[in-house]
Chain A
Amino acid sequence: MTGLTFTLGQRWIEQYVSGMMLLHSLLGQEVAIKPKAPPTPETFVKVLGEIAAGTYDSSRYFEPGPPAQLVLITNPPPVDPKERYLMVGVNTETMRSQMMSVGTGGTAFEHPVWAIFAAHALSGKPPLAVPLATSNEDLWQRLDGLASAVRARRYKPEDFFGPIEGLYPPGAKLRFTLLTVPAEQIPPLRKRGMQALRVSVPPQFFELFQAPAK
């Protein structure tokens, strides 16, 4: 365990499970599920990697449970400026990140549902990864639209995610990781949808969202 948590605090777990219920619905799998073991951030990124690789087996992580109410948090939580928070990163390269001088980190996810569906979108052809939104508020509120699209069986990844050019560095394997982000970097990341995050030395460029094509 890292001892750190996401900006959603312990509510990240219910959001993770809700996201997996939605994914199961999309994949035609059992929706009434509960985790076999208490989810951890580490198992979360492992699951994401397996979803992206097409090797996800729900029976390793979930078992049938009572039908659960799917509740999505669609407003960004406040952050404590003194804290550091976990985010999920994946080493994608986009047209925008190719232009940057700082090294590419990839796409960063604050909400588990975006990470889960990005992993699914990365398993498709062409692979997609960066959530499409006009602002951070829009990013969070679009989760309702994503859930509605899945329920109505009209979900298309390209409606919610933008394309990637490849992985970074070139030749690397797809890799989901946990990022430890200083709180003071989260507001500017949310504001502009991109930031050189001090998750390493030197910092790396991450994208939180990109504007939909006009």
Chain B
Amino acid sequence: MCSCGGSAPAIPSGPATSCPGSPAYDPALWNNAPVIGSTNCYAYAANDPSGHPPGKPQPGQHCGSPATGVSCAEVDAAAQCDGMIPAPNPPPPRAGYYPVALVVDPGVDYHWYRQDPDGNWSHKPGNTAARRTDASGNPITNPQTADRDYSGSGGPNYSNFCGYYYVPSGGVRTGP
């Protein structure tokens, strides 16, 4: 059984072939200069590590229609403009694509997760390192139920789960 999808059963250390369309979890690629300081969760979800200036690529920036606010609806529209494809909840496997998930702390920040080949999820907060754990330090088996509340350390609380999207296995271009 393929374990891809948002509500798939947890597979802590499943085989690397569970979600063949997903990009490999590769912290060495994402967590070193210049990639770490020129990408964020959105570029990570889009599997678009290279060629960005220092900073954070924004949804809709590549297609010329960036989000004007931080809400599910605004980020959704901007991401779709870039090429993210809305997916059902949970997202069934789709050949040639992998699933990503969008969450929002309304008015403050948005965040993206992407599914790894083993069925678990990873993310890259802002210009910091990619990781496979949630706000509580637990593996992310389902972004909808993961701890997304960083307010205890003064950070955002991504309380709104906006939905899933498919990304072509080759990635989506982000940023200017």
| Residues of chain A whose beta carbon lies under 8 Å from any beta carbon of chain B | 96-104, 168-171, 185, 188, 192, 194-196, 198, 201-203, 205, 210-211
Q: Which residues of A contact B54 (CB under 8 A)?
A: 169-171
Query: Is there an interface contact between A103 and B70, defined as CB atoms closer than 8 Å?
Result: no
Query: Is there an interface contact between A196 and B58, defined as CB atoms closer than 8 Å?
Result: no
Q: Which residues of B contact A185 (CB under 8 A)?
A: 107
Chain A residue nearest to B111 in the complex (CB): A101
Question: Given A202-B67, A202-B68, do A103 and B108 touch, yes or no (CB 8 Å)?
Answer: no
4 closest Cβ pairs, A-B complex: A202-B66, A170-B54, A99-B125, A202-B58
Q: How many residues of B contact A (CB 8 A)?
A: 32
Please tell me which one of the listed residues B66, B68, B108, B128 contacts residue A195 in the complex, with CB atoms under 8 A apart: B108
Chain A residue nearest to B33 in the complex (CB): A170
Please tell me which one of the listed residues A101, A171, A194, A203 contacts residue B40 in the complex, with CB atoms under 8 A apart: A101
Q: Which residues of B contact A171 (CB under 8 A)?
A: 54
- Nearest Cβ on chain B to A149's Cβ, whole angstroms: 24
Q: Which residues of A contact B154 (CB under 8 A)?
A: 96, 210-211
Query: Is there an interface contact between B128 and A98, defined as CB atoms closer than 8 Å?
Result: yes
Please tell me which one of the listed residues A196, A198, A210, A211 contacts residue B109 in the complex, with CB atoms under 8 A apart: A196
Question: Given A170-B37, A185-B107, A201-B66, do A99 and B61 touch, yes or no (CB 8 Å)?
Answer: no
Query: Besides A101-B41, A101-B109, 11 other CB < 8 A contacts?
Result: A99-B156, A100-B108, A102-B58, A103-B55, A171-B54, A185-B107, A196-B108, A201-B66, A202-B67, A202-B68, A203-B70
B21 at the interface (CB under 8 A from A): no
Query: Is there an interface contact between A103 and B58, defined as CB atoms closer than 8 Å?
Result: yes
- Nearest Cβ on chain B to A93's Cβ, whole angstroms: 8
- In whole angstroms, what is the CA distance A168 to B37 when docked? 11
Q: Which residues of A contact B58 (CB under 8 A)?
A: 102-103, 202
Q: Which residues of B contact A102 (CB under 8 A)?
A: 56, 58, 70, 109-110
Q: Which residues of A contact B66 (CB under 8 A)?
A: 201-202
Q: Which residues of B contact A194 (CB under 8 A)?
A: 108, 156
Please tell me which one of the listed residues B69, B155, B156 contacts residue A203 in the complex, with CB atoms under 8 A apart: B69
Question: Given A101-B56, A103-B56, A169-B53, do A198 and B68 touch, yes or no (CB 8 Å)?
Answer: yes
B169 at the interface (CB under 8 A from A): no
Question: Given A98-B127, A101-B41, A103-B56, do A201 and B68 touch, yes or no (CB 8 Å)?
Answer: yes
B139 at the interface (CB under 8 A from A): no
- In whole angstroms, what is the CA distance A211 to B127 when docked? 22
- Nearest Cβ on chain A to B158's Cβ, whole angstroms: 10
- Nearest Cβ on chain A to B66's Cβ, whole angstroms: 4
Contact bitstring B30-63, A, C-beta under 8 A = 1, else 0: 0000000100111000000000011110111100
Query: Is there an interface contact between A101 and B125, defined as CB atoms closer than 8 Å?
Result: yes
Query: Is there an interface contact between A101 and B55, defined as CB atoms closer than 8 Å?
Result: no
Q: Which residues of A contact B156 (CB under 8 A)?
A: 99-100, 194
A-B contact pairs, 28 of them (CB 8 A): A96-B154, A97-B126, A98-B126, A99-B150, A99-B155, A100-B156, A101-B42, A101-B112, A102-B70, A102-B110, A103-B56, A103-B58, A169-B54, A188-B107, A192-B108, A194-B156, A196-B107, A196-B109, A198-B68, A201-B68, A202-B58, A202-B60, A202-B66, A202-B67, A202-B68, A202-B78, A203-B69, A205-B108
